Amino acid sequence: MKKIAVYPGSFDPITNGHIDILQRAISLFDEVIVLVSNNSKKSCNFTALERKEIIEETLIELGIKNVTVEINEGLTVRWAKERGAYHLIRGLREVTDFEYEFQMASANEFADKEVDTIFFMARNNTSFISSSAIMELYKNGVDVSPLVPNSVVKRLNK
Ligand code: COA
């Protein structure tokens, strides 16, 4: 049976930190689905469709295979299971991520015990990167190109 994992997030926009997590996940699974959350609670810089397009451009740019990108508005575990995916991928950067991720993994476990979460620790100096930090640096004239894929830089400069 094909082993599929879902990597959910808002990806507003995707960063080199996300890419590092994604590439490590691909080495464990036959297919990884990046699931862009269209969660109305969080106000985003890019629409869900733009975030999806940026990720797709990034996959082409970096030659990353076996990854597809989808948009979801509902429960992540439900979406994953409907596609035959029994693992979620998440990254951990700082201690503060742990509390948030532990709470979310527990809520997901409550919703469906069959879907488990795998965590990758941030590495390669990506632990300080966040999408909102990227946007703030960019809006204040800082060159963010070392922190994000080219497709993000192109989108920002549009
Ligand atoms: N590299 C760079 N940034 C990282 C990162 C990494 N390795 N890991 C986390 N981040 C950052 C993101 O850039 C983002 O930064 P921002 O807040 O400045 O935008 C932040 O950490 C959190 O991002 P993300 O991983 O996208 O999580 P999220 O909290 O935005 O999204 C969902 C969480 C979408 C996965 C979750 O809310 C969800 O599944 N929602 C659907 C409903 C549901 O099923 N809920 C669960 C049960 S309650």
Res. 40: pLDDT tops 70: no
Q: Are 119 and 101 in contact (CB under 8 A)?
A: yes
Within 8 A by CB and 6+ apart from 27, the residues are none
- Is residue 81 among the annotated active site residues? no
pTM: 0.94
Q: Report the nearest-CA residue for atom 21 of ligand 1.
A: 130
- CA of 32: how far to CAs of 36, 115, 124, 128, 142, in Å? 13, 14, 21, 24, 32
Which amino acids bring their CB within 6 angstroms of ligand 1? 8-12, 15, 17-18, 21, 37, 39, 75-76, 91, 93, 104, 107-108, 122, 126, 129-132
Name the pLDDT band for 80 (thresholds 50, 70, 90).
very high
CA of 154 to the centre of ligand 1 (A): 23
Cα separation, 48 vs 54, whole angstroms: 10
Q: 110-126: per-residue pLDDT in tens? A: 999 999 999 999 998 88
